[in-house]
Chains A and B, each alone.
Chain A
Amino acid sequence: MSLQFLADGLFAGALIGLGAVGLTLTYSILRFSNFTHGDFISWGAYLTLGVVGALTGWLGPAARFMPFSFGWPLIVGGLLAMALTGLLALLLDVALFKPLRRTGHGIVMVIASFGASLALRAMLEFLFTSEPAYFSRAIQIAIPIGLGIRVTPDQAAMMGLALVVVIAMHFLLTRTHIGRSMRAVSENPALARVVGIDVAAVIRATWLIGGALACVSGIMLGLTVQIRPQMGFDLLLPLFAAAILGGIGSVWGAIIGGLIVGIAEAGAVQLIGSEYRSAVAFVLLIAMLLVRPRGLFGVREG
Chain B
Amino acid sequence: MIDLLGYSAFFLVNALIFGVLCLGLNLQWGQTGLFNVGVAGFAAIGAYASAILTTPEAAERIGGFGWPILAGWLAAMLVAGAVAALVGLATLRLRADYLAMTTFGIAVTIQVIALNATALTGGPFGIAFIPRPFVSLAETPIAFNAANLALTAAVVLGLFLVLETLTRSPWGRVLRAIREDEAAAASLGKSVNFYRLQAFACGGAIMGLAGAMQAHFIGFIAPDNYLSILTFQVWAMLIVGGSGNNRGALIGAVVVWALWSLSSLAVGTFVAPAFQARAAALQIVAIGVALAAILLIRPRGLVGERATVSRDVEALAGESAAPHEPVRD
- What residues of chain A have their CB less than 8 Å away from a CB belonging to chain B? 27, 32-33, 35, 96, 99-100, 103, 106-108, 110-112, 114-120, 122-123, 125-126, 129-130, 233, 236-237, 240-241, 244, 275-276, 278-279, 281-282, 285-286, 289-290, 293, 301
Segment 268-306 of B: residues with Cβ below 8 Å from A: 277-278, 281-285, 287-289, 291-292, 295-296, 299
- Decide: A111 and B235 in contact? CB cutoff 8 A: yes
Given contacts A282-B109, A301-B95, contact A129 B101 (CB under 8 A): no
- Decide: A293 and B288 in contact? CB cutoff 8 A: no
Pairs across A and B, CB under 8 Å, 20 listed: A33-B100, A96-B292, A107-B35, A107-B97, A111-B295, A112-B291, A112-B292, A115-B288, A115-B292, A119-B289, A122-B284, A126-B278, A236-B104, A237-B108, A240-B101, A279-B112, A282-B106, A282-B108, A282-B109, A289-B91
Cβ-neighbour of A118 out of B104, B228, B282, B299 (below 8 A): B228
- Decide: A289 and B102 in contact? CB cutoff 8 A: yes
Cβ-neighbour of B112 out of A100, A123, A126, A278 (below 8 A): A278
Binding site secondary structure of chain B: helix
**A292: shortest Cβ distance to chain B, in Å?**
11
Binding site secondary structure of chain A: helix
Cα-based distance from A31 to B299 in the complex (angstroms):
20
- Decide: A108 and B295 in contact? CB cutoff 8 A: yes
- Decide: B35 and A116 in contact? CB cutoff 8 A: no
Given contacts A96-B296, A119-B292, contact A285 B95 (CB under 8 A): no
- Decide: A122 and B288 in contact? CB cutoff 8 A: yes
Which residues from chain B contact A96 at a C-beta distance below 8 Å?
292, 296
- Decide: A110 and B288 in contact? CB cutoff 8 A: no
Which residues from chain A contact B96 at a C-beta distance below 8 Å?
106-107
- Decide: B296 and A100 in contact? CB cutoff 8 A: yes
Q: B105 interface residue, CB < 8 Å from A?
A: yes
Cβ-neighbour of B101 out of A111, A123, A275, A285 (below 8 A): A285
Which residues from chain A contact B277 at a C-beta distance below 8 Å?
125, 129-130
Q: How many residues on B have C-beta within 8 angstroms of the other chain's C-beta atoms? A: 44
- Decide: A286 and B97 in contact? CB cutoff 8 A: no
- What residues of chain B have their CB less than 8 Å away from a CB belonging to chain A? 33, 35, 37, 90-91, 94-98, 100-102, 104-106, 108-109, 112-113, 115-116, 228-229, 231-232, 235-236, 239, 277-278, 281-285, 287-289, 291-292, 295-296, 299
Chain A residue with the shortest CB-CB distance to B93? A293
Given contacts A125-B281, A289-B98, contact A281 B105 (CB under 8 A): yes
Which residues from chain A contact B239 at a C-beta distance below 8 Å?
111
**A26: shortest Cβ distance to chain B, in Å?**
11
Which residues from chain A contact B284 at a C-beta distance below 8 Å?
118-119, 122, 125
Cα-based distance from A278 to B97 in the complex (angstroms):
20
- Decide: A122 and B35 in contact? CB cutoff 8 A: no
- Decide: A116 and B105 in contact? CB cutoff 8 A: no
Which residues from chain A contact B289 at a C-beta distance below 8 Å?
115, 119
Cβ-neighbour of B116 out of A33, A237, A276, A290 (below 8 A): A276
**A29: shortest Cβ distance to chain B, in Å?**
14
A-B contacts besides A122-B284, A240-B101, A275-B116, 11 pairs, CB < 8 Å:
A96-B292, A96-B296, A107-B97, A110-B35, A114-B231, A115-B289, A123-B281, A275-B115, A279-B113, A286-B102, A286-B105
Cβ-neighbour of A115 out of B105, B283, B291 (below 8 A): B291
- Decide: A119 and B285 in contact? CB cutoff 8 A: yes
Which residues from chain A contact B299 at a C-beta distance below 8 Å?
103, 108
Which residues from chain A contact B104 at a C-beta distance below 8 Å?
35, 236-237, 240
Chain B residue with the shortest CB-CB distance to A123? B285
Which residues from chain B contact A278 at a C-beta distance below 8 Å?
108-109, 112
**A80: shortest Cβ distance to chain B, in Å?**
25
- Decide: B105 and A100 in contact? CB cutoff 8 A: no
- Decide: B232 and A122 in contact? CB cutoff 8 A: no
- Decide: A125 and B235 in contact? CB cutoff 8 A: no
Given contacts A115-B288, A276-B112, contact A125 B94 (CB under 8 A): no
Which residues from chain B contact A129 at a C-beta distance below 8 Å?
277-278
